[in-house]
A and B are shown apart, each in its own frame.
Chain A
Amino acid sequence: MIDFQVTEEEEGLLSTAARFGEERLRPAERPHEEARRYPEALVHEYRELGLGTLGLPEALGGAALAAPVQVAVRSELAAADPAAPLGLDPLGPGCVALASTPAGRALIAEAREGAVAVAEGIRVEGGRARGRVGWLPRGGLHWLVLADDRGVYRVDAPRWAPVAARPCGLRACGGVEVVLEDAPAESLGGADLARQVLAECRLYAGALLLGAARDAHAAAARYTQERVAFGRPIAHHQGLAFQLADAATDLEAARLLLEAAASRGHAAEVAGAHAYVTEVALRVVERSVQALGGHGYLQDHRVEKRMRDVRSLASLWGGAVLSERDAALSVLDAPEAVGDAS
């Protein structure tokens, strides 16, 4: 039934995430970025609250939350610090899909720090992987799983190197370059599993993009109602007022599309929603910096960091380029818009 009810239990989760964000993430956002890591105590606290394993089955120590709830909770966290879920989660996205296979479950049980990367620029052939991942926004991993169009692979003996350059955003996650030179790659599943893994990555990225963009927009809305130019708050000049209204509308549309795709679970719809969210988030953070004028360009304001963080989030797991491709290639077979989809 057409329904948008947030249950009391969901409200509780969202407010836990929001409180953790406001009290523990936002105040130290810049120091964490400067240090390019999160302190151990914070990692511990975050995981104690169960925020790091929202979607994992209970047997693997997770909360087994439904996908739309995961999206909403991660958006809350990302509003306070867009890098936080990536930097604090023990396992990146994709692990819920992996946990549906025995090999994946074994991997997760064996070591609780791992990540999934999309094999852009990596060739997996004959059980060997070769190539490099330019930037993986995580360090300290025990395992790495690669996904491409044909399947999902566990790779052993990758060489990790800290990224020397300062990344555009998400700096608090640390980040490594991964080099694979004929590394052994064991298959964990075929194209179906790869689609599920990728869909999970896209919902994860979408949630972070939305939270970050929503926070930038909130900052811009507040600033523009205080800053006066030509005799009135700049938010009350129609040129800016309309842009703010459009951003609010686009963010709401993007949120609904992402949560709906999460609830329906069609991989192609998730790809489409991810492409949509990415486009909206990139536009909203840029407009939010613009709304603050020169101040928006300074590190004094959070819109400056939101714009960099969102741009980096937009590049993860193939970004909108790959999502647009997947949405397009399946559009002729997509479920009917109303009535037939369930």
Chain B
Amino acid sequence: MIDTTLDAGFRNVLLIMRQVGRDLLRPAGLEAEATGEPLPVDHPLFVSWNRMGLSLGLAQGRRGGGEAAPGQAPSRMARSAILAAEELAFWDQGALLALPGPGLGGPPIQLLGNEDQRRRFLEEPFRDPERPAWGAYATTESAAGSDVARIRTAARRDGDHYVLHGDKMFITNGARASWVVVFATVDASLGRAGHRAFVVERGTPGFGVGRIEKKMGLTASETAGLFLEDCRVPVENLLGGERGEEAKAGFKTAMATFDLTRPMVAAMAVGIGRSAWERARDLAREAFGAAPYAARELGVLDRLATARRRLDAARLLCWRAAWRMDHHERNTVEASMAKVHAPAAALAATSAALDVCGLAGVVDPRVERCYRDVKVFDIFEGTGEVQRIVLARRLFGYPSEG
């Protein structure tokens, strides 16, 4: 019916990530907090991470669709990814997002790209662990976030090239990336049907970085604005073919990736919430360990207990979504539930931790940083509102348009 224990394999994932988080991510994250800047591209964290040869499981989407034949043996990939995401985020979310690799740009290339594209973009740039490299993913624009159909970045065929023109915003690792998967429209009147994905390589004339955003939190992670000014991208860099239907089928497959990324980011939020919570619990132990009734009278214990059970429930939603994916069952509803629930639970946990820690918490980076870092989890990877629309469509026949 339900088993929440970790077997040796999952425990191993947890212990490795705990060590990586404690030894590498936490110090790097605190460093970034001190400077107020994203980690520089030559930060030793990145080579150390590469040398470990670990992967977060993001780029491992299956080609040809998310569903598998019945009877196929269950995987452990999604559950391992969820455990890793929570544990690494526990130590530092900003540094986690800054880690080298193809990032969110990986799945579309993996799922839509041809053999040549996968070699050029997923293998070659990442071959040498001593030279960290990043990929990035760019859909969002300043005037088009949740409503993806509204993107205005235009792509026009011109001989062997497409000419791209427009701006992209909120691009994680966008300025340091070797390439960025850019979504543009060949005909804005077609909505999503007009969208095509291009791999735009760094150094392409007309492609540049606007500014590095100053954010509330996630300081270690770089968030860039990008611009494309009559940027000529070779036809070989178009993903998923020129004809709309082909690309559409591909995008549908690519969307299946989000059935893993949503529970993963939800698990990251849980990790951040747990981080602040444990710090507050430890302080409360020191202050009240011998006098629990006094702590309860102050509301300290009730705040901690309420936050704890909300976090535990959020973790179970993440685990269940991952378990279904590992068992090759559709998990869109479970993934959205995790993404709706976890950010709110985690924000409440960080806020409760601040209540418990008093004024010391406001200047304790192990507590107040979590509060600033976790807010964005209800915004990126599909806002809480978008998740509720997904749920309403699936469960209550909410119409797709309107």
Residues of A within 8 A of B (CB): 1-7, 10, 66, 68-69, 72, 221, 224-225, 232-233, 235-236, 238, 241-242, 244-246, 248-250, 252-254, 256-257, 259-260, 262-264, 269, 272-273, 275-276, 324-325, 327-329, 331-332, 334, 337-339, 341-342
With a cutoff of 8 Å between Cβ atoms, the chain B residues found around residue A242 in the complex are 385, 388, 392
Interface size on B, residues (CB 8 A): 61
Most buried by B among A3, A6, A235: A3
Contact of A245 among B285, B295, B340 (CB under 8 A): B340
Contact of A235 among B288, B310, B396 (CB under 8 A): B396
Contact of A263 among B4, B289, B320 (CB under 8 A): B4
Q: Is the CB of A332 within 8 A of B4?
A: no
The 9 closest A-B pairs by CB, nearest first: A256-B316, A328-B301, A245-B391, A253-B313, A241-B392, A1-B7, A3-B3, A272-B309, A68-B1
Known: A253-B316, A329-B292. Is A2-B396 also a contact (CB below 8 A)?
no
Q: Is the CB of B86 within 8 A of A252?
A: no
Known: A337-B311, A338-B14, A339-B11. Is A256-B317 also a contact (CB below 8 A)?
yes
With a cutoff of 8 Å between Cβ atoms, the chain A residues found around residue B337 in the complex are 248-249, 252-253
A334 to B285, CA, bound (A): 12
Q: Is the CB of A69 within 8 A of B1?
A: yes
Q: Verify if B399 is at the interface (C-beta below 8 Å from A).
A: yes
A264 to B248, CA, bound (A): 45
Additional A-B contacts beyond A245-B392, A260-B2, A262-B2 (16; CB < 8 A): A1-B10, A5-B1, A72-B1, A235-B396, A241-B398, A245-B395, A248-B337, A249-B337, A260-B312, A263-B4, A272-B312, A276-B309, A327-B309, A332-B295, A334-B308, A337-B274
With a cutoff of 8 Å between Cβ atoms, the chain B residues found around residue A238 in the complex are 389
Give the contacts of B277-294 with A (CB-CB under 8 A).
281, 284-285, 288-289, 292-293
Q: Is the CB of B312 within 8 A of A337?
A: yes
A246 to B285, CA, bound (A): 34
Q: Verify if B53 is at the interface (C-beta below 8 Å from A).
A: no
20 contacts between A and B (CB under 8 A): A2-B6, A3-B323, A4-B1, A4-B3, A221-B395, A232-B399, A241-B396, A246-B340, A250-B341, A252-B334, A254-B313, A257-B316, A263-B1, A275-B305, A276-B310, A331-B308, A332-B285, A337-B308, A337-B312, A338-B6
Give the contacts of B45-67 with A (CB-CB under 8 A).
none
A3 to B9, CA, bound (A): 14
Q: Is the CB of A252 within 8 A of B317?
A: yes
Q: Is the CB of B308 within 8 A of A249?
A: no
Contact of B4 among A225, A264, A324, A329 (CB under 8 A): A264
A93 to B290, CA, bound (A): 33
Q: Is the CB of B305 within 8 A of A272?
A: yes
With a cutoff of 8 Å between Cβ atoms, the chain B residues found around residue A250 in the complex are 341
With a cutoff of 8 Å between Cβ atoms, the chain A residues found around residue B309 in the complex are 257, 272-273, 275-276, 327
Q: Is the CB of B308 within 8 A of A3?
A: no
Q: Is the CB of B305 within 8 A of A328?
A: yes
Q: Is the CB of A263 within 8 A of B2?
A: yes
Tell me, rounded to whole Å, the shortest Cβ–Cβ distance linking B221 to chain A: 24
When each residue 292-332 of chain B gets 1 if its CB lies under 8 Å from chain A and 0 otherwise, what string results? 11011000011011101111111111011011100000000
A330 to B273, CA, bound (A): 20
Q: Verify if B87 is at the interface (C-beta below 8 Å from A).
A: yes
With a cutoff of 8 Å between Cβ atoms, the chain B residues found around residue A253 in the complex are 313-314, 316-317, 337, 341
A2 to B14, CA, bound (A): 13
Q: Is the CB of B323 within 8 A of A244?
A: no
Closest B residue to A10 by CB, please name it: B1
Q: Is the CB of B399 within 8 A of A260?
A: no
When each residue 368-393 of chain B gets 1 if its CB lies under 8 Å from chain A and 0 otherwise, what string results? 00000000000000000101110110
Q: Verify if B83 is at the interface (C-beta below 8 Å from A).
A: yes
Tell me, rounded to whole Å, the shortest Cβ–Cβ distance linking A16 to chain B: 15
Tell me, rounded to whole Å, the shortest Cβ–Cβ distance linking A47 to chain B: 23
Q: Is the CB of A324 within 8 A of B288?
A: no
Contact of B391 among A248, A256, A257, A262 (CB under 8 A): A248
Closest A residue to B396 by CB, please name it: A235
Q: Verify if B5 is at the interface (C-beta below 8 Å from A).
A: yes
With a cutoff of 8 Å between Cβ atoms, the chain B residues found around residue A66 in the complex are 1
A246 to B339, CA, bound (A): 12
Q: Is the CB of B3 within 8 A of A276?
A: no
Q: Is the CB of A272 within 8 A of B398?
A: no
